[in-house]
Structure 1
Amino acid sequence: MELLTLLGTISWWGWLLIGLLLLALYDINQKKHTIRHNFPIVGNIRYFLESFGPELRQYIVANNREELPFNRQQRAWIYASSKQENNFQGFGTDQDITSAGYIFIKPALLPLKLSPDNPNYNSPHIAPSAKVIGLFHKRRKPYHPPSIVNISGMSFGSLSAAAIESMNKGALKFGCYHNTGEGGLSPYHKFGADVVVNIGTSYFGVRDNTGNFVMEKLVKLVEENPFVRMLELKLSQGAKPGKGGVLPAAKITAEIAEIRHVEMGKDVISPASHSAFSDIPTMVAFIEAMATETGLPVGIKSAVGKLELWAELADYMLETGKGPDFITIDGGEGGTGAAPPSFADHVSLPFVYGFSKVYQIFQRRGLTSRITFIASGKLGLPESAIMAFAMGADLVNVGREAMLSIGCIQAQICHTNRCPSGVATQSKWLQAGIDTTLKSERFYNYIKALTKEILEISHAAGYEHPCQFTMEDVDLAMGDNNRIQPLCDAYGYTKDVVAFTSIADLLKIRT
């Protein structure tokens, strides 16, 4: 009783002093952190500030153009577009327009005037692909993408169920396709949008218990899900080319384990290379087998580094008349996939260099008309997408920009399962904050605004469709020498002309 009476007489600041004394004793006696041992109590402030340093810089310290991978101005445009708020800016540009790599798109003296019978006259966001995928190789089920902008490969596992569902419902409403990423086809990809099934080195969803590819499972998956329109064989991705994916055990739920055909409680580490093939001829044979068995167009996705095997692939296609129906070039800018900093920062070429080099390889062999080139790597902003089309891309895939449109705040902790916005986590609590009806609408608004602005820039340049852009239409600032160069001079080629008559004619194509 006397002890309780004594404790009751201690004021709040007395308890504070006792707490600080105990903390000081703990700091002095622990050996894990030298700073806390040498500077008890005060040393904790360092770790406290470090814990929210990125957020502090993001919202208070950094200016509108400093942050990476997407600066505040870019994110603001995506957020405003997704919410149908004012996405304009006033008082001119605040960018350093002389900085190296700055994009200048050349408008025509007289912009294109749309006639009332043009589909974009009343629907300014309609832009189908200028190419039909799988037509050259006579696939049984060729595919004509209704949209030039689509969702890049992001798997259920990397992203939450609510995020995948939101994107798929938004894609259905807009009319773009949704790439599953290498995690396999999940129930959250099945709300009606066209789907591209991505097949990685672990063959998730179409594998046996030891991780080998099973053709019968792929055929069954395609037969049971007619919305699956293409297959994408993933050789590598921009975040970690030459290194397999990692899904930590903490992010593996019973549902994910069932979809991927993996065990619970273990990190899932995908191998760096495929077991179904080992060289260009066997890879092409694998592609042809999948196309024959399913009837679908089959393409490849890869980051770019050494070019020898790209040249061998092009030569083999020229010799045999066989090969991928589309090629997705993923820039080394990375994405949601977790990777060691050395891989994310230094392994593989950025999109502009990787794409230009691969495109030229196929161009020199006269193959560009039989391949659909899909571009990926921070291209979900109008000016970047236009540059990609001018370089030879036929379609653009967006990944992180799609995540931003449904609430991602660029916390850059996708790999920890602690994503605060619920987009890249399997935590039921965190993803419960995602209203899929609302977020699907926001993705729809973003993709519609992006496509509309791409078309408006095309019209300003005198074109009806972005496939008509040439490499002379876009200039790059060269930096300190105060010069600019058209893309054709900067990258050493001129893209091939894409067959195009009108968007009205494209809308008549049925596949």
Structure 2
Amino acid sequence: MENILSFLSAIPWWGWVLIFFAIIAIRDIFFNREHTIKHNFPVIGHFRYILEGIGPELRQYIVASNRDELPFNRSERGWIYASAKNENNYEGFGTDQDIFSTHYIFINNAMLPLKLKEDHPNNLDPGFIACAKVMGEFNNRKRPFRPASIINVSAMSFGSLSARAIASLNEGCKEAGAYHNTGEGGLSPYHQKGADVVFHFGTGYFGVRDNDGNFSMEKMVELVNENKQIRAIEIKLSQGAKPGKGGVLPASKITKEIAEIRNVPIGKDVLSPPSHSAFNDMPELVDFIEEIAEATGLPVGIKSAVGKLDQWKELASIMAQTKRGPDFITIDGGEGGTGAAPPSFADHVSLPWIYAFTDVYQVFLNHGITDRIVFIGSGKLGFPGQAAMAFALGADCINVAREAMMSIGCIQAQSCHNNTCPTGVATQNKWLQAGINIKEKSRRVNFYFTKFRKELLEMTHACGYEHPCQFTMDDVEINLSDQNLAKSLAGTFSYHKEKVPFEGVHIHKNDPNLGAIYKRKEVITKEAETEKTTPHNKNQ
């Protein structure tokens, strides 16, 4: 034994390195049955898999330029990070965008911008923009709802996102006056930090389902009565990432708390069916909407990705004839979003937002009922220029998902579906979540929304308008091709949006729909109005 130990101790360090590589080579050649590269190129073949594993990070931070990456490039992420940190989000030396690329948009400014009167609300709060329409007003719902912000947090459920991420978003929405859509995972304690809430459910009916997985009106009424912050209800027909497929929450993400909120078993993947069991066709959908609205008193809307238009036309026809139906419609772009999906669905199924929205809006425009509906856009619209384009097309509000995630620290690692999100945003791993400081991240959400609205409002005033709802389709042009470099949205999509009945921004202390806005304006902090001008690093 002493001889063996003496022999081993006499081996130099480089000898141990050679022995280590020899063992790996023997394993690769004689025992490897999975990887051809490792068998044919023992030892050095491992470097191929190492580089493949860190490839996304190398491309993101070293290889790709500021405008190369998808779904959000470095410049877009940098603007969000700078805005959320309340830092200088300006850029110098002109744009580095390819302004002649297809689908590039131009916003036509007025020769003389709009001048605001001294007592105008935006002189007190330059980031204040409420929705010009009221959800549920036409259908005389018992509790109509005017969103206090035209930019809000889109449907992202507790389960897909972590508890600390949801709490940060909700507290940030409270500070910013925005609403927070729950996503289809049910109403969690982390959605109850003070913001207005849009309760969203899909085919799994999580949070309002019975023990057999069917929709329960009794639970819906109980939920609304016990949580007055729920201001509207959204029925998800499909989402842009995977329309017609249904969703999956992996068992690895399901904690005891999530199982209780969703009323699902723990330790198993939770599957959302591709279709609803509560209704089968458009007439039944309209009946379902009216039943929920009558039972809860709240505005009820639908969310959907868009492909074929036959059923949209049927829905519009029913609404025109019966004066019943959804109070708001959220159009989700086929670009995909926070929901994990097979590439075949995310890449090819359903239309991108701009085509989806214009197709659907025209259907309701042709039936003369766009004034009855609050149209909400959802699909990479979390930037002022894109938002201005959306309002010109007919949107009344915008929901942001991935952009809101970035405001609380998301770095686009694209590991949402693996429960390994390095920033703790899209994981149930307690260690990874621990890095989220809720107080600090909620401030960032507030700053992102405030700066977003302020910049959008400045663009609106530059075009001579008081509110983004006044944008027309002739105010925005879009590049089409070499032969026809740019056309207005009206010329491109062959319609004009219906004029929104907007008379001006007013603050009414006694108006229940605007009370929250008035209170928000009374508690504006000096900190939120102050812009830092120090240099910054835009990347998280």
Contact 1:328–1:375, Cα closer than 8 Å, also in 2: yes
Deviation at 1:11, TM superposition (A): 2.1
TM-score (norm 1): 0.99
C-alpha distance in structure 2 between counterparts of 1:176 and 1:508, whole Å:
20
C-alpha distance in structure 2 between counterparts of 1:395 and 1:383, whole Å:
14
- Which secondary structure state, in structure 1, belongs to the residue aligned with residue 199 of structure 2? strand
Deviation at 1:419, TM superposition (A): 0.4
Q: Pairwise mapping of residues 61-460 of structure 1 onto structure 2 (< 5 A)?
A: 61-460=63-462
C-alpha distance in structure 1 between counterparts of 2:126 and 2:421, whole Å:
35
C-alpha distance in structure 2 between counterparts of 1:87 and 1:393, whole Å:
26
C-alpha distance in structure 2 between counterparts of 1:506 and 1:249, whole Å:
49
Quote the residue 2:534 is aligned against: none
Q: What residue identity is the alignment partner of 2:301?
A: G
Quote the residue 1:25 is aligned against: 26
Quote the residue 2:529 is aligned against: none
C-alpha distance in structure 2 between counterparts of 1:157 and 1:269, whole Å:
13
C-alpha distance in structure 2 between counterparts of 1:9 and 1:162, whole Å:
54
Question: Could you say if the C-alpha distance between residues 243 and 507 of structure 1 is closer, same or farther in structure 2, counting changes exceeding 3 Å?
Answer: farther
- Which secondary structure state, in structure 2, belongs to the residue aligned with residue 155 of structure 1? coil
Quote the residue 1:48 is aligned against: 50
Q: What residue identity is the alignment partner of 1:427?
A: N
Question: Could you say if the C-alpha distance between residues 27 and 138 of structure 1 is closer, same or farther in structure 2, counting changes exceeding 3 Å?
Answer: same
C-alpha distance in structure 2 between counterparts of 1:463 and 1:14, whole Å:
77
C-alpha distance in structure 2 between counterparts of 1:198 and 1:363, whole Å:
26
Deviation at 1:510, TM superposition (A): 2.4
1:370-399 deviations in Å (ceiling 9; x for gaps): 000000000000100110000000000000
Contact 1:149–1:451, Cα closer than 8 Å, also in 2: yes
Deviation at 1:482, TM superposition (A): 6.0
C-alpha distance in structure 1 between counterparts of 2:241 and 2:65, whole Å:
26
C-alpha distance in structure 1 between counterparts of 2:376 and 2:13, whole Å:
64
Deviation at 1:122, TM superposition (A): 2.4
C-alpha distance in structure 2 between counterparts of 1:210 and 1:33, whole Å:
45
TM-score (norm 2): 0.94
Deviation at 1:481, TM superposition (A): 3.0
Moved over 3 A (4+): 505-509
C-alpha distance in structure 2 between counterparts of 1:465 and 1:86, whole Å:
24
Contact 2:156–2:183, Cα closer than 8 Å, also in 1: yes
C-alpha distance in structure 2 between counterparts of 1:465 and 1:483, whole Å:
29
1:337-364 deviations in Å (ceiling 9; x for gaps): 0100000000000000000000000001
Quote the residue 1:35 is aligned against: 37
C-alpha distance in structure 2 between counterparts of 1:116 and 1:70, whole Å:
39
Contact 1:472–1:487, Cα closer than 8 Å, also in 2: yes
Deviation at 1:31, TM superposition (A): 1.1
Quote the residue 1:16 is aligned against: 17
1:462-509 deviations in Å (ceiling 9; x for gaps): 001000000000000123336110001111111000011111268874
Q: Pairwise mapping of residues 465-484 of structure 1 onto structure 2 (< 5 A)?
A: 465-481=467-483, 483-484=485-486
Q: What residue identity is the alignment partner of 1:5?
A: S
Quote the residue 1:462 is aligned against: 464
List gaps (5 residues or longer) in structure 1.
none
C-alpha distance in structure 1 between counterparts of 2:403 and 2:226, whole Å:
31
Quote the residue 1:487 is aligned against: 489
Deviation at 1:208, TM superposition (A): 1.3
Q: Which moved more, 1:13-22 or 1:226-235?
A: 13-22
Q: What residue identity is the alignment partner of 1:237?
A: Q
Q: What residue identity is the alignment partner of 1:64?
A: N
C-alpha distance in structure 1 between counterparts of 2:106 and 2:511, whole Å:
33
C-alpha distance in structure 2 between counterparts of 1:423 and 1:5, whole Å:
53
Contact 1:128–1:506, Cα closer than 8 Å, also in 2: no
Deviation at 1:86, TM superposition (A): 1.3
Contact 1:202–1:211, Cα closer than 8 Å, also in 2: yes
Question: Could you say if the C-alpha distance between residues 508 and 384 of structure 1 is closer, same or farther in structure 2, counting changes exceeding 3 Å?
Answer: farther
Aligned-residue CA RMSD (Å)? 1.0
Contact 1:130–1:506, Cα closer than 8 Å, also in 2: no
Quote the residue 2:8 is aligned against: 7
Contact 1:162–1:431, Cα closer than 8 Å, also in 2: yes
Q: What residue identity is the alignment partner of 2:157?
A: S
Contact 1:391–1:487, Cα closer than 8 Å, also in 2: yes
Q: What residue identity is the alignment partner of 1:270?
A: S
C-alpha distance in structure 2 between counterparts of 1:164 and 1:10, whole Å:
56
Percent identity of equivalent pairs: 62
- Which secondary structure state, in structure 2, belongs to the residue aligned with residue 504 of structure 1? coil
- Which secondary structure state, in structure 2, belongs to the residue aligned with residue 373 of structure 1? strand
- Which secondary structure state, in structure 1, belongs to the residue aligned with residue 406 of structure 2? helix
C-alpha distance in structure 1 between counterparts of 2:13 and 2:408, whole Å:
45
Deviation at 1:301, TM superposition (A): 0.2
1:90-110 deviations in Å (ceiling 9; x for gaps): 000111100000010011000
C-alpha distance in structure 2 between counterparts of 1:383 and 1:283, whole Å:
35
Aligned length: 511
1:408-441 deviations in Å (ceiling 9; x for gaps): 0001110000000100000000010000000000
- Which secondary structure state, in structure 2, belongs to the residue aligned with residue 259 of structure 1? helix
Contact 1:276–1:286, Cα closer than 8 Å, also in 2: yes
Contact 2:121–2:507, Cα closer than 8 Å, also in 1: no
Contact 1:130–1:394, Cα closer than 8 Å, also in 2: yes
C-alpha distance in structure 1 between counterparts of 2:359 and 2:481, whole Å:
22
List gaps (5 residues or longer) in structure 2.
514-540
Deviation at 1:175, TM superposition (A): 0.5
